[in-house]
Structure 1
Amino acid sequence: MPTSFLEIVELPDGRIALRRAEDEEALVVLDFSADAKAFLQGQHIEVAKAMLNVGVQMAGRLAEGDFQHEEEARVLH
């Protein structure tokens, strides 16, 4: 992926998106349920920012070859 500025935006439908600053197309979209928003007491945007920040950091590490590809299935929690 070419280097560009990324931005986190709240879409009109309430979803949170990560996109290139010069592009309207979302790279990643997070959609919190009403229950999750209630549980987070209105802080879902802060949680989304943290989730996307870690994801971008991990993607950078993957691009640099810092992770080994595993052939077997993994359990995701």
Structure 2
Amino acid sequence: MPTSFLEIVELPDGSIVLRRAEDEGVLVTLDFSDDAKVFLQGQHVEIAKAMFTVGVQMAGQMAEGELVQEEVAHVLH
């Protein structure tokens, strides 16, 4: 992916997206349920920022060959 500035935006429908600053194309979308928003006490946007930050860092490490994929099954919790 070419180098560009990324932005995190909360859309009118409540979705939080990661996109390139120069266009409207969405790269990743996060949707928190109403229950999750209540549990997070309205801090869901901050949680989304942290999730996107870690994801972008990991993608960068993978692109630079620093992150090695394990050959085992992964369980998502």
User: Which amino acid in 1 is paired with 2:24?
Assistant: E
SS in structure 2 at match of 1:2: coil
Count of aligned pairs: 77
Q: What is the RMSD of the two structures over their aligned residues, measured on CA atoms?
A: 0.9
Alpha-carbon separation, structure 2, partners of 1:53 and 1:7? 11
TM-score, L = length of structure 2: 0.94
Give the equivalent residue in structure 2 for 1:62. 62
1:1-50 CA distance string (max 9 Å, x none): 00000000001100000000011011000000000000000000011011
SS in structure 1 at match of 2:28: strand
Residue 72 of structure 1 deviates from its aligned partner by 2.6
Runs of 4+ with >3 A deviation: none
SS in structure 2 at match of 1:36: helix
Using the aligned pairs only, state the percent identity: 75
SS in structure 2 at match of 1:28: strand
Residue 74 of structure 1 deviates from its aligned partner by 1.3
Alpha-carbon separation, structure 1, partners of 2:49 and 2:68? 26
